[in-house]
Structure 1
């Protein structure tokens, strides 16, 4: 559903924005990059089935370099998931290092941002629920929240 009004999203307390993806450097070596690419859907299934692990929302874009944006409740939950031998991530990471390592066929990347109230702002116009608007609450971007500076202040309350 497209929301035609001007909206902004907020999330109570601290949260984490985790950007992750891969880059296919040698597309003809399907046997090298396909196992890496197919590991993420397994992880996402697991995370969606167990919301207590901390993932609130994710969205992905595909190209030669993929981009997934994930919103996590806390840095502790993200790190616990990454290090847990009984979850999907650690075995997938070990398999990547064994099969690909640093041979250059496929690249892996991620960036992690810890976000506190007052450290973010956003606006959505003519958009469905998207990004932080999926993880948090949407409210009208009016009054104090009409400007970017106002949204920054309002999120710091």
Structure 2
């Protein structure tokens, strides 16, 4: 279910550059269900959504980037029951937008060269990604967490 929501959200929000629920859903899944589930969701969501959006050299780097985000987010598993955890998660989601752009720039450097050109050119899009992640986290965290509690996950 989460994979289909992530894919649909990524495909249908494509008209807003880099604003997508995929990153937030990966982070929430990694926090609530563990790193492995977050990484699985990341890999499958990227592969399926790129079938619609276009597969290329960036697909592997996206899988790596979002898997690393799931690994990092899963580290906050023990804090998930804290009172104001949603705000920490929103900050983590915002930073994940910039982290994703950094990893993508590294892969572009490996393939094409000139790291700084890719990094600085991508900063406005990374900012869209970061702000979108914060807003989407504040919107989606409670409904997804409640759904997991009802399903006893």
Normalised TM-score (structure 2): 0.34
Instruction: Please state which structure has a larger fraction of its residues in strand.
Output: 1
Q: Which of the pair has the greater relative contact order for Cα pairs under 8 Å at 6+ separation?
A: 1
Decide which structure has the larger Cα Rg and report it: 1
Normalised TM-score (structure 1): 0.34
